[in-house]
């Protein structure tokens, strides 16, 4: 596995509408593990649910609503055709177009001009969040339709695989995160999903990824489920939920024991807290968050070496100046942490 030791990266979204400007910002502050920027303000098609919907059978983008027209006759025949392509592992049949990801294509156009990164990071919406965020025409979440659930997991697997293949043209080392904001509702009365189904869906999507696999959740959840998934990196909001991982010490210990990496989302992604924090305060907050695990018997040196530093979530809701500050703080925190790794 790659030696990451506190390098900086980010989750995905930026508030920019100019993809070149967004890429410049990423490469300025995240040269070691740059991301391709998702730009939801540029177009609804770059919304995290619409972005990876392209080519899904019966999908409809109507204004700022996305849904699956399950009852349309053409959708049934298309479903069969798409599933056949999925089963044949026809990755090239599932591209992500410039119309849905201008930031990705602007980033790919930088081939030969991105320096020598350790890795390049991409992201795809996770099947739980996509399946709960996208409904059929009757507004029933797609995830509760067994046929749609199976198809969407395979579809996202292929989108992740296509993306990874495209990024490998820039750098052989890739990291792909599944973004799962809906995990914050897992186990509640509002989300009726079994642990087994969630793990099966993740296994399907992650099975198409060759490089490092990550899962990001920006809220609190049952981390024992996440830590049971076949992932290399767990990404969480350590700013607001820094203590939560310590509630699962055995699961975290096993995860670290097999080389797992924790991405500490320690830089806040809301304007007010971001405005009052600085490098010193965030470094203290990060050390406190790590301390919760250290007191459960996890060595500080291991936590430092098996870590990444990120913002707590995507930066798409911020103003561009605030997003730049968040990335600047992420970079500065990473540098401070890496000095501790070297000294340690």
Q: What is the pLDDT of residue 278?
A: 97
Q: What is the mean pLDDT of residues 74-78?
A: 62
Q: What are the pLDDT digits (tens) for 214-249?
A: 999 988 899 999 999 999 999 999 999 999 999 999
Classify each residue of 183-211 as buried b or exposed e, where b means 16 or more C-beta atoms within 10 Å of its C-beta.
Answer: bbbbeeeebebeeeebeebbebbbebbeb
| Average pLDDT score over the chain | 92
Q: What are the pLDDT digits (tens) for 247-258?
A: 999 999 999 999
| Residue that has been written with the tokens 């399946």 in this structure | 131
SS3 139: coil
Q: What are the pLDDT digits (tens) for 272-324?
A: 999 999 999 999 999 999 999 999 999 999 999 999 999 999 999 999 999 99
**Do 239 and 265 touch, CB atoms closer than 8 A?**
yes
Q: What is the pLDDT of residue 187?
A: 56
**Do 232 and 259 touch, CB atoms closer than 8 A?**
yes
Q: What are the pLDDT digits (tens) for 118-160?
A: 999 999 999 999 999 999 888 999 998 888 898 899 999 999 9
Higher pLDDT, 4 or 322: 322
Q: What are the pLDDT digits (tens) for 152-207?
A: 999 999 999 999 999 999 999 999 999 999 887 765 545 678 889 999 999 999 99
Tokens in use for 323? 């997003």
Domains of the chain: 7-343 (3.20.20.210)
Integer-rounded Cα radius of gyration of the chain: 19
Q: What is the mean pLDDT of residues 36-62?
A: 94
Length of the chain: 344
Q: Is the pLDDT of residue 344 over 80?
A: no
Q: What are the start-end ranges of the E strands in 147-291? A: 174-179, 212-217, 233-236, 261-267
Q: Is the pLDDT of residue 74 over 80?
A: no
Beta 65-68 vs 59-62: how paired, if at all? antiparallel
């Amino acid at each position: 596995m790659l030696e990451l030791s506190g390098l900086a990266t980010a989750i995905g979204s930026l508030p920019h509408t100019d993809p070149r400007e967004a890429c410049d910002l990423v490469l300025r502050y995240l040269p070691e593990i740059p991301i391709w920027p998702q730009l939801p303000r540029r177009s609804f098609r770059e919304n995290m649910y619409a972005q990876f919907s392209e080519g899904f059978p019966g999908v409809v983008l109507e204004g700022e609503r996305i849904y699956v027209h399950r009852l349309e006759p053409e959708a049934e025949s298309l479903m069969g055709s798409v599933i056949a392509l999925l089963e044949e592992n026809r990755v090239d049949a599932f591209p992500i177009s410039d119309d849905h990801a201008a930031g990705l294509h602007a980033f790919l156009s930088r081939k030969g001009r991105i320096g020598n990164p350790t890795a390049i990071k991409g992201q795809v919406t996770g099947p739980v969040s996509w399946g709960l965020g996208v409904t059929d025409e009757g507004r029933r979440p797609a995830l509760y339709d067994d046929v749609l659930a199976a198809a969407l997991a395979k579809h996202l697997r292929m989108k992740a695989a296509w993306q990874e293949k495209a990024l490998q043209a820039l750098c052989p080392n890739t990291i792909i995160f599944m973004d799962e904001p809906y995990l914050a509702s897992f186990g509640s009365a509002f989300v009726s999903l079994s642990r087994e189904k969630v793990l099966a869906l993740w296994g399907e999507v992650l099975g198409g990824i060759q490089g490092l696999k990550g899962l990001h959740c920006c809220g609190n959840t049952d981390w024992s489920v996440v830590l049971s998934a076949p992932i290399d990196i767990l990404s969480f909001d350590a700013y607001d939920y820094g203590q939560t991982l310590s509630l699962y010490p055995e699961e975290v210990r096993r995860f670290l024991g097999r080389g797992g990496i924790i991405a500490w989302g320690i830089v806040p992604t809301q304007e007010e807290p971001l405005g009052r924090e600085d490098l010193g305060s965030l470094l203290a907050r990060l050390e406190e968050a790590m301390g919760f695990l250290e007191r459960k018997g996890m060595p500080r040196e291991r936590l430092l070496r098996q870590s990444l530093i990120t913002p707590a979530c995507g930066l798409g809701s911020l103003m561009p100046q605030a997003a730049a500050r968040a990335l600047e703080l992420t970079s500065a925190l990473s540098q401070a942490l890496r000095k501790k790794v070297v000294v340690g």
